[in-house]
Amino acid sequence: MWIAMIPPELLLQGYRLGVFPMALDDDSIGWFSPDPRAIIPLDNFHVPHALGRVARKRVFEIKIDNAFREVIRACAQREDTWINREIIESYERLHELAYAHSVEAWSKSRLAGGLYGVAVGGAFFGESMFHCERDASKIALVALVEHLRKRKFALLDTQWLTPHLRQFGAIEIPRVHYLKMLKRAVELPRKFL
């Protein structure tokens, strides 16, 4: 059976312009550019105290791009999801092209949680997270921020602000300000891996 896929060039151009796709209730694809836009300032990332203890215990092993397919499918396994088959196919193609990446938290050789997103220049666009074990997706987020800092990324876009992301220092900024940050970030010569 043939599944529609958003062309990689269109997806990447959307990200460069501050626009991203989501599946709508009727399974069609809508494009969004929220105002205000949520970001996590990499310099002001906050690790909650209890999570810091979990991180220091090294309960989870962090891997990057080891199980992208499993991560995106786990992110889609929610009652209310914006990730349909077309989104999955589209991002799996971006992964093959080395633009979409997963950060995974493993426990006892089992995928316990993780996240995926898209890297363009010095910008990373976080798409979704999931967990099977407590704190696994949060530890994956901590690992992502450390990874982005080491590689001198300038922007971590989270699209919308949620109470979950607020605890890590996520903020909202006007779209006009976001677009200026985005333009500078995507022009940086950075590699995710």
Digitized pLDDT (tens) for each residue of the chain, 193 residues in all: 556 899 999 999 999 999 999 999 998 999 999 999 999 999 999 988 787 787 788 889 999 999 999 999 999 998 888 999 999 999 999 999 999 999 999 999 999 999 999 999 999 999 999 999 999 999 999 999 999 999 999 999 999 999 989 999 999 999 999 999 999 999 999 999 9
Residue among 183, 139, 185, 163 nearest 41 (CA) = 185
Residue among 179, 147, 184 nearest 19 (CA) = 179
Burial of 179 (0-12, 13-18, 19+ CB in 10 A): middle
For 21, 37, 73, 83, 177, the CA distances from 32, given in Å and listed in that order, are 6, 11, 22, 14, 16
pLDDT tens for 73-118 read 999 998 888 999 999 999 999 999 999 999 999 999 999 999 999 9
Give residue 2's pLDDT: 58
Give residue 74's pLDDT: 98
Both structure tokens of 58: 């090294």
Rounded Cα distance, 140 and 51, in Å: 11
Q: Find out whether 148 and 41 touch, Cβ atoms under 8 Å.
A: no
Taking the model in full, what pTM does it have?
0.95
